[in-house]
Structure 1
Amino acid sequence: MKGWGTALIKDVKSRGYVEVNSVLYPPNSAQALSVTTKPKKRTKTLKTGCVDDTRNIKNKEKYNDPFIQFVKQELGIELWPEFYFCTDRQFRIDYAIPEFKIAIEQEGGIYMKGNSGHSSGTGIARDMEKNNLLVSKGWRLIRRQPCEMLTIETLLFVKELLS
């Protein structure tokens, strides 16, 4: 009877036994309790649509792409990537300068055919809704193609909106 040992170990583990250094211990034993950890408490997510929004802080820590570095180097300004600007919807801005309410959107896929992403009817309608919501909340929007992001022209657009 091949594999009976593996089946036995699997069965014992399914009953709560814990393996420590290739030895199985009952669930309530000191050895088992010493290695079992309590699940991490989830921190409450703060959703404000501002710089104190937990999601925005997480995204700022996570992303640091060439465009963010370019703007920081040339203009000395911090960009917030994937910025949630409201609590009404789950809309995000590709890049934001929240203190000046400037949004920068990278318009990818505009020449793609078919129903993929932003170029589909649904995607275009969603982008229109997001852009209108941005404007209604007092944001100014710069829309650029991917090939235009790391250019002086984009910096000039940002600089003009800053003044």
Structure 2
Amino acid sequence: MGKSELEQAFLMQVRAVKLPEPEQEFRFHNKRKWRADFAWPDLRILVEIEGGVWSGGRHTRGSGFIGDCDKYNTATLEGWRVFRFAGDHVKNGMALNTVERAIFGSIR
């Protein structure tokens, strides 16, 4: 599955500031086929870039939203820190800043 433009933009930002390279389309659950857009498994960090927030995409419709709740709650129960970002978060740098803080703490 190809990366969305937002996912590509986020990955470029990560690389530009030389954060550790994330695993992409990381399967974090051994029984379900759940994947995260990006993961730093050694740090137990998962990142999801949510597209279609304003256009009625899968993540904002009933069954998609409920499925995402199950996915994110299970990941949290299994010790993952789950970060979800909309397109605006990627574009304004908030996604990158949040992940930097998660990786390095609030002071780098």
TM-score (norm 2): 0.79
* Aligned residue number for residue 32 of structure 1: none
- The residue identity in structure 1 corresponding to 2:8 is D
* Aligned residue number for residue 11 of structure 2: 68
* Aligned residue number for residue 93 of structure 1: 36
Give 1 or 2 for the bigger CA radius of gyration.
Answer: 1
* Separation in structure 2 between the aligned mates of residue 67 and residue 111 of structure 1, nearest angstrom: 19
* Aligned residue number for residue 140 of structure 1: 81
* Separation in structure 2 between the aligned mates of residue 100 and residue 85 of structure 1, nearest angstrom: 13
- Structure 1 segments unaligned to the other structure (5+ residues): 1-58
* Separation in structure 1 between the aligned mates of residue 14 and residue 52 of structure 2, nearest angstrom: 23
From 77, 86, 90, the counterpart of 1:149: 90
TM-score (norm 1): 0.55
Task: Kindly tell me the number of residue pairs found equivalent between the two proteins.
Answer: 101
RMSD, matched Cα: 2.2
Q: Report the Cα offset of residue 150 of structure 1.
A: 4.2
* Aligned residue number for residue 65 of structure 2: 124
Change (3 A) 1:150 1:102: farther
* Separation in structure 1 between the aligned mates of residue 92 and residue 20 of structure 2, nearest angstrom: 16
1:84 matched to 2:11: no
Q: Percent identity?
A: 28
- Mapped contact 1:107–1:143 kept (Cα < 8 A): yes
* Separation in structure 2 between the aligned mates of residue 67 and residue 154 of structure 1, nearest angstrom: 8
Q: Which has the higher contact order (CA 8 A, sep 6+)?
A: 2
- Mapped contact 1:70–1:150 kept (Cα < 8 A): no
